[in-house]
């Protein structure tokens, strides 16, 4: 399944290609496809960097060094540093249970794991307002005990965990299913312990999938806007993440700075794509 | 193994944040939750107040700011954003903090002079240089080829003032009545191509994206746009009649009592009323209420006939119910006409 | 009971891993989502129906689901084309374009939103060529479509691509031998094989577009009845202190996304059977 842009696992030789269209048709199709990709992907990507450097390189770095920008970067790194490992652990554990065993209700469980992916980010934020808001379930109790969740770092982290919940799991489940369980069973028969089997046998097979799952999860965690916007409270220098800081700069006629900060996220996206491409090569190499 | 490492990473990351927070706690902190166009005002004012408080109480005060559409901001406070003071666009949103969450007493607006509004403002038009569409007054806005930019009255305080100013104008014309006013406002909103959720979004749409012929804006927001983005690009047009906008301020009692910041929070708001505070407000194009400061800046602010919300609409509660509640006149404007 | 849950396997850890999965799932996803259901349950049935069928709300469904369907359709057509070109042809920069297809997964939505609004508005790189022809993209329903096409772009490409890669060349050759021309081969032989994965990609792109918020609010005009999407309406309700209304609309959307997901999973089962 490709819910989160799973790695392509190519099996053996490429099929097809035996017949070809006339050169004219071929080039026409290529031209249309590239024009479409250019219009929707290349142009916007180029625009981010052009706009960011609109006022020169000095202005670009000044925008990144500004205290509110630094605190937004720090908060974003912190949020990712907490939510990604938690979802990684979950992803590996869930993938083990789902791919190595058969049990009733499995596909229902998978659907539930997918749910945060298709729930609108606005709703993801809203549910935490309902839970932890002063008018919500736990709000009055939390307030009485002076525990801040909503409009503070924990709320932002929770909302981020929610929206990035399926990423690692969805990456690993198809990968581990494809690999079957023969190798693990053999290891067990030879007397390895469960954890040994996992770290010596399973993990080397899935490490590129894990890496890509983690980096995709990380990109989303750092870039989440809708859900975080609902729970943040927008206190400058305290509860603004990078995407929220971008929005603020954008609303302050500070377009060059907005795009400068946005370009950090765009760079992160490009790194994500590179890692993905490398991971795909490696998996192909190893399965051949 | 990996789990342990992850745990260590997570814990140390947590400590890394907890550290600085603990260090900051030695000084006083205030959170001011405000609406969109006051960013520049409070940037200046907070710096001045920090100096003032240091001199007066010998204490360092750090003022945190949060800005957004007035409705969103009030909602956040109701949901538990621990604002020591709120400085919002209109009284209705602060009333909601009383009625929905009970964080302040009902008579909050009586606690500070001048309906708790240390500065006032009004609604003006921002047009493109040379006023190519010859927009002079409200009735020019309903002409068929005019595009008007205003935020959404449902979510933006400023937009509610815009809407009510237009309504009041139509009402005050010869033979004006409620039905005609509604017709006028309906026509006006037919000319609105974009409804942003806050005042800042609308200004961006008009100024940066070049959309529309006229922006209905806070006076201070219009001045700021002209000054920041070039006098050669925009002009301010003051209509024959507008509305006296009173953006009120208050301390949030439950929060300041919990934070033990009542003294500094109250002083913060009172400082807005002092000549220094008034001067900062005037410099940021808010109309000062202090007579002396007002006289000094008289040139900046065009004299305009201002109606008040109490006179024409019977106060915010009534206006809100009639115009902006679900099914109110604003919703009726957007109900498809058969 | 416990024993009959799973087939016999020598592998350990079924209990703890499944237990942890369900625990974490409940903690992060199910309990918070149930708050939504409970809050909605506070409304009477009549109030609920009145809220979720108010004209402005219905108009927002039309905008959201309509644009999402259209965007998924655009992506279905161009997605197959892009996948086809990437799998079948050689051209310079192919690797680069292949990698770039995933950009919408990795690029934060807010960045996509301000960028698309900049590029497609009247003075922008693309907008300036469209506007003279009377085509306005930014701040119109068309802008919503553009944003939804952007975020949904990878789905169809990435579901169709692997199927296309594994197609056996012999089938096409056989069709050609039997006298079919290229177009007939594609429409009668290839297309039916691609259909399940195409539908899956379509449904995924649709699901993603329906829930999208960040990139759309920057480029849509947000006009009630015309270009206001449902997630924005939820936020608007929230900002009017109408919590019950916001949760009622949210639960309708939640139900919709759950149905779409179930459909996707069924489609995938179907396509797997197809593949075998």
What tens digit of pLDDT does each residue of C160-217 get?
Answer: 888 888 877 777 788 888 887 878 888 888 888 888 889 888 988 998 899 898 889 8
CB contact under 8 A, A251 and B201: yes
Q: How many residues does chain A have?
A: 288
pTM of the model: 0.85
Is pLDDT of B5 > 70? Answer: no
- The angle at the Cα of B264, spanning B262 to B270, to the nearest 5 degrees, equals 100
HSE-CB of B335 using CA atoms within 13 angstroms: 10
- Which residues 74-113 on chain A approach chain C with CB closer than 8 angstroms? 90, 93-94, 96-98, 100-104, 107, 109-113
Query: Which residues from chain B sit within 8 angstroms of residue C117, using beta carbons?
Result: 209
CB contact under 8 A, A194 and C11: yes
CB of C71 within 8 A of CB of C149? Answer: yes
Query: Which residues from chain B sit within 8 angstroms of residue A142, using beta carbons?
Result: 80
For residue A34, which of C162, C84, C68 has the smallest C-alpha distance? C84
Chain C's closest residue to A263, CA to CA, is C111
With contact defined as 3+ CB pairs under 8 Å, the chains touching C are: A, B
What tens digit of pLDDT does each residue of B73-82 get?
Answer: 998 999 889 9
CB of B171 within 8 A of CB of B312? Answer: yes
Chain B's closest residue to A145, CA to CA, is B258
What tens digit of pLDDT does each residue of B239-253 get?
Answer: 999 999 999 999 999
CB contact under 8 A, C172 and A16: yes
Q: What integer pLDDT is reported at residue A3 of this predicted model? A: 47
Chain A's closest residue to B205, CA to CA, is A251
3-state secondary structure of B64: strand
CB of C154 within 8 A of CB of C105? Answer: yes
Of B39, B76, B203, the CB nearest to A233: B76
Q: What integer pLDDT is reported at residue C270 of this predicted model? A: 76
State percent of chain B over pLDDT 70.
91
Query: Which residues from chain A sit within 8 angstroms of residue C125, using beta carbons?
Result: 43, 47
Beta-strand pair B28-35/B234-237 = unpaired
Query: Which residues from chain A sit within 8 angstroms of residue B64, using beta carbons?
Result: 235-238
For residue C131, what are its two tokens? 């506007």
Is pLDDT of B50 > 50? Answer: yes
B200 touches A: beta carbon within 8 Å: yes
Select the residue from B43, B62, B76 to test the A interface by mutation, using most A Cβ atoms within 10 A: B76
Rounded CA gap, B98 and B116, in Å?
15
Is pLDDT of B1 > 50? Answer: no
Phi and psi at residue B64, in whole multiples of 5°? -90, 145
3-state secondary structure of A7: coil
Beta carbons within 10 angstroms of residue C36's beta carbon: 22
Size of interface A-C (CB pairs under 8 A): 338
Distances (CA, A) of B71 to A207, A231, B197: 48, 15, 9
Mean pLDDT, range B204-226, rounded to an integer: 88
What tens digit of pLDDT does each residue of B152-195 get?
Answer: 888 788 899 999 999 999 999 988 899 999 999 999 999 998 88
| pLDDT interval class at C5 (50, 70, 90) | very low
Q: What integer pLDDT is reported at residue B112 of this predicted model? A: 95
C236 touches B: beta carbon within 8 Å: yes
C222 touches A: beta carbon within 8 Å: no
Query: Which residues from chain C sit within 8 angstroms of residue A128, using beta carbons?
Result: 32
Phi and psi at residue B234, in whole multiples of 5°? -135, 160
Size of interface B-C (CB pairs under 8 A): 69
What tens digit of pLDDT does each residue of B110-143 get?
Answer: 999 999 999 999 999 999 999 999 999 999 999 9
What tens digit of pLDDT does each residue of C30-75 get?
Answer: 999 998 888 888 888 998 998 899 888 999 999 999 999 999 999 9
Structural domains in chain C?
45-275 (1.10.3720.10)
Is pLDDT of B97 > 50? Answer: yes
Of A40, A118, A128, the CB nearest to C153: A40
CB contact under 8 A, A33 and C265: no
Rounded CA gap, A240 and B194, in Å?
26
Q: What integer pLDDT is reported at residue C219 of this predicted model? A: 87
Query: Distance (Å) from the C-alpha of residue A230 to the closest C-alpha of chain B?
Result: 9
Of B9, B68, B201, the CB nearest to A81: B9
Sign, Cα dihedral of A70, A72, A77, A82: positive
Q: What integer pLDDT is reported at residue A16 of this predicted model? A: 43
**Helix ranges (DSSP H) in C167-242:** 169-177, 182-184, 191-211, 214-219, 230-239
CB contact under 8 A, C241 and B152: no
DSSP code of C28?
I
Q: What integer pLDDT is reported at residue B129 of this predicted model? A: 92
Q: What integer pLDDT is reported at residue B71 of this predicted model? A: 81
CB contact under 8 A, C208 and A225: no
Q: Which portions of chain A are predicted below pLDDT 50?
A: 1-4, 11-18
Q: What integer pLDDT is reported at residue B19 of this predicted model? A: 41
- Which residues 80-139 on chain C approach chain A with CB closer than 8 angstroms? 81-82, 84-89, 91, 95, 97-116, 118-119, 124-126
Chain B's closest residue to A137, CA to CA, is B79
């Amino acid at each position: 399944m490709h819910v989160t842009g799973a790695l392509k696992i190519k099996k053996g030789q490429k099929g097809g290609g035996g017949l070809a269209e006339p050169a004219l048709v071929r080039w026409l199709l290529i031209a249309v496809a590239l024009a479409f990709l250019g219009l929707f992907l290349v142009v916007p990507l180029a625009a981010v960097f052009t706009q960011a450097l609109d006022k020169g390189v000095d202005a670009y770095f000044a925008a990144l060094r500004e205290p509110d920008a630094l605190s937004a970067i720090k908060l974003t790194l912190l949020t990712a540093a907490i939510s990604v490992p938690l979802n990684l652990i979950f992803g590996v554990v869930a993938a083990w249970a789902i791919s190595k065993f058969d049990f009733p209700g499995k596909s229902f469980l998978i659907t539930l794991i997918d749910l945060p992916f298709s729930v609108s980010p606005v709703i993801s934020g809203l549910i935490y307002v309902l839970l932890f808001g002063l008018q919500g379930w736990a709000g009055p109790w939390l307030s009485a005990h002076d525990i801040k969740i909503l409009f503070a770092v924990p709320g932002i982290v929770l909302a981020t965990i929610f929206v990035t919940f399926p990423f690692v799991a969805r990456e690993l489940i198809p990968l581990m299913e494809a690999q079957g369980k023969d190798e693990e069973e053999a290891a067990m028969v030879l007397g390895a312990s469960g954890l040994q089997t996992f770290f010596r046998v399973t993990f080397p097979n899935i490490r590129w999938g894990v890496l890509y799952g983690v980096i995709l999860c990380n990109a989303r965690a750092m870039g989440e806007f809708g859900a975080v916007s609902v729970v943040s409270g927008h206190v400058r220098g305290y509860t603004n993440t990078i995407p929220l800081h971008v929005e603020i700069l954008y609303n302050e006629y500070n377009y060059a700075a907005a795009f400068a900060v946005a370009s950090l996220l765009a760079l992160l996206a490009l790194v994500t794509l590179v890692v993905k491409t490398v991971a795909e090569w490696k998996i192909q190499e190893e399965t051949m | 193994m990996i789990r342990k490492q992850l745990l260590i990473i997570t814990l140390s990351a947590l400590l890394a944040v907890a550290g600085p927070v603990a260090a900051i706690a030695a000084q006083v902190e205030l959170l001011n939750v405000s609406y969109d166009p006051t960013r520049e005002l409070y940037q200046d004012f907070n710096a001045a107040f920090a100096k003032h408080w240091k001199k007066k109480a010998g204490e360092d005060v750090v003022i945190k700011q949060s800005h957004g559409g007035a409705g969103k901001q009030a909602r956040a406070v109701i949901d538990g954003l621990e604002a020591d003071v709120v400085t919002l666009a209109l009284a209705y949103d602060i009333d909601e903090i009383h009625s929905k969450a009970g964080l302040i007493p009902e008579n909050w607006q009586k606690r500070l002079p001048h309906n708790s509004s240390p500065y006032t403002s009004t609604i003006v038009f921002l047009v493109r240089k040379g006023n190519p569409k010859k927009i002079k007054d409200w009735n020019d806005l309903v002409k068929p080829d005019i595009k008007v930019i205003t935020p959404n009255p449902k979510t933006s305080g400023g937009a509610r003032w815009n809407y009510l100013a237009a309504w009041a104008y139509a009402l005050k014309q010869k033979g004006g009545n409620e039905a005609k006013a509604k017709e006028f406002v309906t026509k006006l909103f037919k000319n609105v191509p974009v409804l942003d959720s806050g005042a800042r979004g609308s200004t961006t749409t008009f100024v940066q994206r070049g959309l529309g012929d006229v922006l209905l804006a806070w006076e201070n927001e219009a001045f700021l746009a002209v000054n920041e983005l070039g006098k050669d690009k925009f002009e301010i047009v003051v209509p024959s009649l507008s509305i006296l906008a009173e953006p009120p301020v208050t301390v949030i009692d439950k929060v300041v009592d919990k934070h033990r910041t009542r003294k500094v929070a109250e002083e913060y708001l009172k400082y807005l009323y002092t000549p220094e505070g008034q001067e900062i407000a005037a410099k940021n194009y808010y109309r000062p209420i202090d007579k002396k400061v007002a006289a000094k800046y008289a040139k900046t602010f065009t004299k305009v006939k201002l109606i008040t919300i109490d006179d024409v609409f019977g106060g915010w509660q009534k206006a809100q119910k009639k115009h902006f509640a679900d099914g109110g006149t604003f919703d009726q404007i957007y109900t498809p006409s058969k | 009971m416990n024993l009959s849950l799973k087939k016999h396997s020598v592998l350990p850890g079924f209990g703890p891993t499944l237990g942890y999965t369900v625990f974490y799932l409940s903690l992060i996803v199910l309990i918070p989502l149930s708050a939504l259901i409970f809050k909605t349950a506070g409304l009477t049935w009549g109030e609920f129906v009145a809220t979720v069928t108010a004209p402005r709300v219905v108009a927002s469904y039309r905008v959201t689901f309509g644009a999402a369907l259209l965007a998924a359709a655009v992506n279905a057509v161009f997605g197959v084309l892009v996948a086809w070109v990437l799998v079948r042809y050689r051209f310079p920069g192919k690797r680069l374009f292949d990698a770039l297809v995933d950009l919408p997964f990795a690029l934060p939505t807010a960045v996509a939103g301000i960028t698309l609004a900049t590029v497609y508005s009247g003075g922008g790189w693309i907008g300036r060529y469209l506007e003279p022809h009377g085509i306005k993209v930014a701040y119109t329903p068309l802008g919503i479509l553009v944003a939804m096409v952007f975020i949904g772009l990878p789905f169809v490409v990435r579901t169709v691509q692997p199927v296309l890669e594994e197609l056996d060349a012999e089938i096409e050759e056989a069709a050609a031998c039997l006298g079919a021309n290229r177009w007939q081969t594609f429409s009668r032989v290839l297309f039916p094989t691609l259909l399940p994965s195409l539908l899956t990609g379509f449904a995924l792109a649709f699901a993603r577009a329906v829930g999208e918020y960040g990139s759309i609010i920057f480029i849509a005009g947000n006009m009630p009845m015309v270009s206001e999407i449902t997630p924005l309406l939820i936020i608007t309700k929230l900002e009017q202190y109408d919590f019950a209304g916001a949760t009622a609309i949210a639960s309708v959307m939640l139900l919709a996304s759950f149905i779409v997901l179930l459909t996707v999973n069924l489609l995938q089962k179907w396509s797997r059977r197809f593949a075998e």
